Amino acid sequence: MRYMQDINLNITFYGNEGGHTAFVFAADGLPTQLGDVIMSVNYTNGGVVADIRIFVWMDLEDIDAAELDDLNGLPNIPFNFGDGNGGFPHYDGGDGAGTYGYALIQPLDTAIWAQVNAGGPVNGTPWPTIDSGGDIADPDEYATFSLAEIAINATAFGFDTSALQGPCSNSFGSVMVKTRSSDSFTAELKDLVGPFNFGNVVDVQVDVADVSIDCYEGADVDLEATSNFIFDTYEWYIGVLNDGGDPTNPDDYTFDEVNAPDYVGNPYSVTASGAYLVNATLGGGFTASDIAIVSLNPGADIIIDYSTDVNVDCGNDGTAFTQWIANLKTAVTAAAIQNPVIVYTDENDQVIDLDNLVAPSNVCDGGSLTVKISVTDDCNSVVTCEPNPNETIYSSTFTLNADEEDPELTIPADADVECDSVPEVGQASATDNCDSDVTVVYDGEVRTDGACADSYTLTRT
């Protein structure tokens, strides 16, 4: 039933079919449009017995008892026309209704229940009500014959059967209650209560939050669909990123919903980044969907915490080289790295074993060793450490400085002696900053004669 209510609470009824919305049926009887319904309740036998009748608004042009009976024979008609006893009551809609009016229907199965509190007062509202005699009743109770309860199974009546509606669609928008002066269907209407919103549809949604997944091998993360409704099944599909697409944009993925889903259930444990579509389904075919983007967590940075060049002189006892090797072995911070692979290479990019390195030993010319460090992990992070003075990167070089300091030689002092007292060759000694065992070699002597026959000089080297 369509109506407008102004600010003064005045109600005006309107509609495209005689001021209302009419039931429209397909050739097989299935409603293609649900229309207005009147429920007529007549209380008899002192108000104890409720005689409930249901009328639907429809186009009655060229419709009489025979035509209504023919409608009952259609395979998908959701209810039967008539009173169930061979009668087919129907009424025109009155002024301005044209060919539209109401026709009595019966459910295909039990669909109506009604009762009144004929046995005595029952618990009621905290404010007083009016009893059947017109007197004010006691608070907190409904007086005898003042509470009427009616239940209608709309599904059994076929009011939620439509070719154009899903299983969660509402059959009616609102309900109004009117009284009339007698039990005649065409009697004058009296009081009006309503309209009350009726059968509002809850906006059912399903949501899956975007998450990130660690980049290392074996990592996983749960995608969990949440909703304000309980669905029967959850079907998941893995998206394929379109060429040139943005991996963070759900619209740039294609989902194959024709073939079987990639997973059924909730939650879904995934092991790769990408887009994931969930279709949450209720019995009857109602489906809500959402797409989650799983981004890749790049993981922790790889840090090579060693960049000091080591320079030693020839007098070093080897501890500096040993410490340099130990520092190279612990240069990579691996606590937050997933499965790191550390490779050491020389300046020619040949893989080396640090335990096999030998310190430079040519003290005269000096020498150096350069080690490059390359680290990879499951997250495909790569960091290298190699000498390059033109870039801000790590270098690890061990240098033995060349010995540029001459040994210190100590020889016997020069002496003047008589020709018959020439001494033997004296002892010479030497020290060196790079060698504690210096060898002194006597090369011989050279005689240089003087002016006199027995005068001469011996130079010993």
Residues 309-350: tens digit of each pLDDT: 788 777 676 788 888 888 888 776 654 556 677 788 888 888
SS3 category, 351: strand
Delimit the domains of the chain by residue range. Answer: 2-111+153-197, 206-297, 303-400, 408-460
Query: 0.75 exceeded by the pTM?
Result: no
Q: Note the pLDDT of residue 240.
A: 93
The predicted structure's pLDDT at residue 56: 86
pLDDT for the residue 136: 82
Structure confidence at residue 436 (pLDDT): 66
- Are 24 and 15 a contacting pair, CB within 8 Å? no
d(CA 289, CA 423): 114
Q: What confidence score (pLDDT) does residue 387 get?
A: 36
Closest CA to 313 of 397, 439, 433: 433
List, in order, residues 6 or more apart from 373 with CB less than 8 Å away.
Answer: 304, 328, 331, 332, 342, 343, 344, 383, 384, 385, 386, 394, 396
Looking up tokens 């209704």, which residue turns up?
Answer: 97
CATH of domain 206-297: 2.60.40.10
